[in-house]
Amino acid sequence: MPFLHEALIIFQKDIRQEFRTRYTVNAILLFAVVTLVAVSFSIGTFSASNEVKSALLWIILFFSGMSGLSHIFIREEEKHTADTLKLVARPLSIFLGKLLFNFVLFIAMQIIIIPLFFAVMNFEVKGIFPFIIILSVGGIGLSAGSTLIAAIISKASARGALFTVLAFPILLPVLVAGISGTKISVTSADFSAVTAEFQMLIAYSVVVITGAILLFDFVWKE
């Protein structure tokens, strides 16, 4: 399928660009580390329950994501490469390529931050398999929603604050299912305990990716 091939090329282009400047990666990681430090420092010697720690993990991941996932389109607009891109590739390929980039970015951030979180917050998880699954599928949902919203705000002014404002209500189901699933995986190694959350995250990701693919055309053509 040619559009998948195009999508991969766009993805590779963005990765290469990112490696050269490391702008987005730095922004996201820095934000995540700072937030983690702030959280750990504020909790200090007090003990937090597993529920609270699960929630804090997702808050750190969520807001770090918010700080970086919108760059993917803003960069195109600012460097004025958006018009060329419009001529060269299909909207579907562009969206899929950018979505893949955002997803990889988010997972990379998770890979770095989560072990740090475990270490710094004395967080222990019994069910490592459900834990990873929930975080991965949650990552899909967050990236998918964020990518479309990033495209929308790249065409507007006041981008930074607007991105979080638009994204938060849309991405909230991921937070709810994610935090709940993570909390359950702390005490239970059984995957069947998180099936409800897992199904909801999968359903959400499917709906959001489909909707975003259908709607992306209209945003991109503006």
Partner 1 sequence: MSYFWKFGIFLWLILVFLAAFLWAPLAEGLGEYTRIIYFHVPTAWLTVVAFLIGAVYSILYLRKRQIKFDMIAEAASQIGLVFCLLATITGSIWAKMSWGSFWNWDPRETSIFILLLVYAAYFALRSAVEQPDRKAALASVYSIFAFITVPFFVFIVPRVYASLHPDPLVNPEGKIHMEGKMLMTFLSSLFGFTLLFFWIFKSKLELIKIKISLKERE
DSSP 62-115: HHHHHHHTTHHHHHHHHTT-HHHHHHHS-HHHHHHHHHHHHHHHHHHHHHHHHH
With CB under 8 A as the contact rule, the residue among 15, 86, 173, 191 that binds partner 1 is 173
Nearer to partner 1, 111 or 196 (CB): 196
User: Is the CB of residue 165 less than 8 Å from the CB of residue 148?
Assistant: no
* Contact positions with partner 1 (CB under 8 A) in 82-121: none
* Interface pick for partner 1 out of 96, 113, 148, 186 (rule CB under 8 A): 148
57 binds partner 1 (CB under 8 A): no
What value, to the nearest 5°, has the Cα angle with vertex 130 and ends 41 and 148?
75
**What's the farthest any 2 CA atoms get from each other in the chain?**
57
DSSP 3-state of 60: helix
200-219 binders of partner 1 (CB under 8 A):
200, 203-204, 207-208, 211-212, 215, 218-219
Binding site for partner 1 (CB under 8 A): 145, 148-149, 152-153, 155-158, 162, 165-166, 168-170, 172-173, 176, 196, 200, 203-204, 207-208, 211-212, 215, 218-219, 222
